[in-house]
A and B are shown apart, each in its own frame.
Chain A
């Protein structure tokens, strides 16, 4: 599945999830490469914030991919909260990111997930995220 088919509304240059590598019942694996040249102030100056947003987009995408009852109208949802954020360095322009998200708990229209961002074999960010499906908003 290409990034443009994911059930999230984000578009370039604010789309931080690229290929879908794997989607299971309760977890997903996505990749994206931090652009080498970017005019985006946020991308250049706050790569750690990009990691948070990438995890949020991956979480919403996973929620939509596995939670959708109507394949023609999948629900991705929106970021409702994040906690327990840790950074271990920051990705640099050109770095390939692997974004992992795994569901911890479903609770009505809310889903809590663990997220991680990896660059090669190093985890650069992790967080606990809450995504609210459309029905909760």
Chain B
């Protein structure tokens, strides 16, 4: 698979979690925190949805053990997908 870009992951995250009405794409920085109060405020339900959609789009499996590190930011997701 060709390298998955930051923009492609950002788009998937925004589509998957229906964030288009809440954020502009440029508001979601590649290394910005996604989960928790200091980030975008995503929660465990969002993590499950992201895991399902990343599997469907890029064929990568992310389980709960990996999720905390993989879902830290858009960049960590892209890095994980590209290394998988």
Interface magnitude class on chain A: 10 to 19
Q: How far is the CB of A60 from chain B (nearest CB, A)?
A: 16
Q: How many residues of B contact A (CB 8 A)?
A: 11
**Looking at B49, B55, B64, B67, which has the most chain A CB atoms within 10 Å of its CB?**
B49
**Looking at B47, B48, B51, B63, which has the most chain A CB atoms within 10 Å of its CB?**
B48
Closest A residue to B64 by CB, please name it: A108
Majority SS at the chain B contact face: helix
A80-B45, A110-B44, A136-B44 as given contacts; A104 in contact with B52, CB under 8 Å: yes
Closest B residue to A104 by CB, please name it: B52
- In B24-77, the 8 Å CB interface with A consists of 44-45, 47-49, 51-52, 55, 63-64, 67
Query: What are 10 inter-chain pairs, A to B, with CB distance below 8 A?
Result: A105-B48, A107-B48, A107-B63, A107-B64, A108-B44, A108-B64, A112-B49, A112-B52, A130-B48, A136-B44
Given contacts A105-B52, A107-B67, 7 further A-B contacts (CB under 8 A): A81-B45, A105-B51, A107-B44, A107-B47, A109-B44, A110-B44, A130-B48
